[in-house]
Structure 1
């Protein structure tokens, strides 16, 4: 078979184009935003993080191509329970390592040869498990209730562990799972009670934070960030917070921006290449560039909806739903933090913020979506081939006339 790009780039072509433009924006902004980091960590070699990030993006595209060409979608249904148990084990191991080593947070797990955040794997394994449970129990309300309890229990356990080190990531994942259950026709009374319980839990966390011991440090951070957003940050009076720098970057960007590589604010921000990368993007490319990136994520969301609607099988449809919702919510949160719409929280911008293994896990998520879109095309083609060909044969009497 003759080699061609079309034989590798399978699935939704629009989604591939969106990922290409996101990759291009990511490389440009990461290079601009890592100048300070390069002087501090790489001896002033400013291209260090550009090369590193470009390599991870290339690996990510390789992962997507591998998944869409080699791994069948039904494989994810088979491994879903095992993947979830494995993920829970990694999350617990990260907590144990955090307690034994005294790390700042239990977000990452250091295995000597590799360090990564188990929460990134949890996004995929939890969605696979939820999609499997919901897809296999769609006939009666009793089956849906059983599936709801399984998915709610798994989501509560996983997100509860993650929240010890990263409340915002736990919230993003849980909201994505709620959206998945809504699409899977779980009765609204169950979802409503769950949402009410979530609101009550958030209120409990907020008001109990002052009396909790320091070992519950994320609760104090959770409350402080909400208070700072509502009442204003005392440090903001001196203009020294990350949120202040983000607002300054957006203000200086104006309509068309200062130009590629012309960011000044990134030299003063600790998270310019990660949590606040959208602000640096607007500083260099203006409101026009910021709207363009937001539009790309909207296209991603709408293409995800199209893939779900085109799917004739429940598991692939639910798998796509969960992943698309989680990444869309994550992107919205990141952009909202940079623009000051929501309290400051640490959420990277999917496929744009600098990352290592997190980029690979994100690529795997995109690969699953592309695999489902490719499966839809194969199903449509097979259905068309199975349809009988109707030949209009003239009636004999009519032909004599």
Structure 2
């Protein structure tokens, strides 16, 4: 099928307006994720006494719908993205409430909900949908001085942050807070409030240390890497040392045999041992490319909602990658957060696909009558 520039079909217009370089970079991350999941997950499956290909099959079950979701959402116009974000946020909040009421406690927290035999983590979907609805409120408040957009955005943030802390999930709350802060700043937050917000963020971090036991434990382990609780990070660092520049070779890794969560939180360590630092640097460059290219395209857009929503989604995507990689390299306390499009995890994969589909939709070039759809 040939898609010429004169093709006025939906697919044709999409092909010539969407950022194909970003799509290529995302598919490169997905391919690396498939490769590393195949490398890391059989050892994990064997340790827990299940079929060696259990996690691989489940990852493919979610991977195909995720790709379809990303490409399907990228066909939308900004108004449709906004509607999808509002509906998604409302559904996410309801599911977060359901988690607190009905979900079982696992490792001291309630984060997963089983629906029709499928386990989902609602907090993953709350992040991209919150970025959309908060951007809408900030944009409306800026464009219509009589509209209480800031107040509504603050209320929406407080509601979702409160539900996340109730689980508790401090890491996801941190990401939501970063999205909110960046959007508030871009929407015209006064410098005095920026300083106040910085002080509150520091106080919030100190408070989390004393209020949540798991946060205190992880920070203490980070500050004392020689303690018994630093086994995972120490093992991950040994994987990087074992791999060197080019790695031991596909399937030759040994750390994955003993490293807990090798297919999720510490999958980069498996890649570092088998494929070397070269692969890790390539992954880092892909994440940087996607985020920086997204912001570069935003600089050309005059629609405030598009700018705020895309900025929030890109911050979420980049920050999640930074947290995962920094935790693996012992640059910050460990946090159970997936590496976007690489780590095993159905909810994470689908939610990230939704978010990046929104980014692709919002950053498309628009001409003529498409401007009226914003």
Q: What do the CA deviations read for 1:293-315 (whole angstroms, capped 9, x no partner)?
A: 00000001111102211223111
What is the RMSD of the two structures over their aligned residues, measured on CA atoms? 2.5
Q: CA deviation at 1:48?
A: 3.9
Separation (CA, whole Å) in 2 of partners of 1:16 and 1:135: 27
Deviations 1:194-224 (A, max 9, x none): 22112112212323x4xxxxxxxxx111011
Residue aligning to 2:7? none
Query: What pairs up with 1:2-401 in 2 under 5 angstroms?
Result: 7=12, 11-40=18-47, 43-44=50-51, 46-69=52-75, 71-78=76-83, 80-98=85-103, 101-104=104-107, 105-139=109-143, 146-163=148-165, 164-207=167-210, 209=211, 219-232=212-225, 234-235=227-228, 241-374=231-364, 377-379=365-367
Matched-pair contact (CA < 8 Å) for 1:15–1:303: yes
Task: Determine the C-alpha separation between the residues in 2 that align with 1:103 and 1:47.
Answer: 24
TM-score (norm: length of structure 1): 0.83
- Shift of the alpha carbon at 1:112? 3.3
Q: CA offsets, 1:252-303, max 9 Å, x none?
A: 1111111222211111112111111111111112111111100000001111
What TM-score does the superposition give when structure 2 sets the normalisation length? 0.89
Q: CA deviation at 1:338?
A: 0.7
State the distance in 1 between where 2:185 and 2:299 align. Answer: 15
> Which deviates further from its counterpart, 128-137 or 58-67?
58-67
Number of aligned residues: 362
TM-superposed CA distance for 1:191, in Å, is 2.8
Residue number in structure 2 paired with 1:390 = none
1:228-257 Cα shifts (integer Å, max 9, x gaps): 111335215xxx711111111111111111
d(CA) in 2 for partners of 1:171 and 1:77?
23
CA distance in 2, matches of 1:269, 1:20: 27
Question: Deviations for 1:358-379, whole angstroms, at most 9, x for unmatched residues?
Answer: 21111111100111122xx123
Please give the alpha-carbon distance, in whole angstroms, between the structure 2 residues aligned to 1:61 and 1:147.
Answer: 33
Q: Deviations over 1:83-106 (max 9, x none)?
A: 4333222111101114xx444421
The question of whether the paired residues in 2 share the 8 Å contact of 1:257 and 1:286 is answered with yes
In structure 2, the residue matched to 1:397 is none
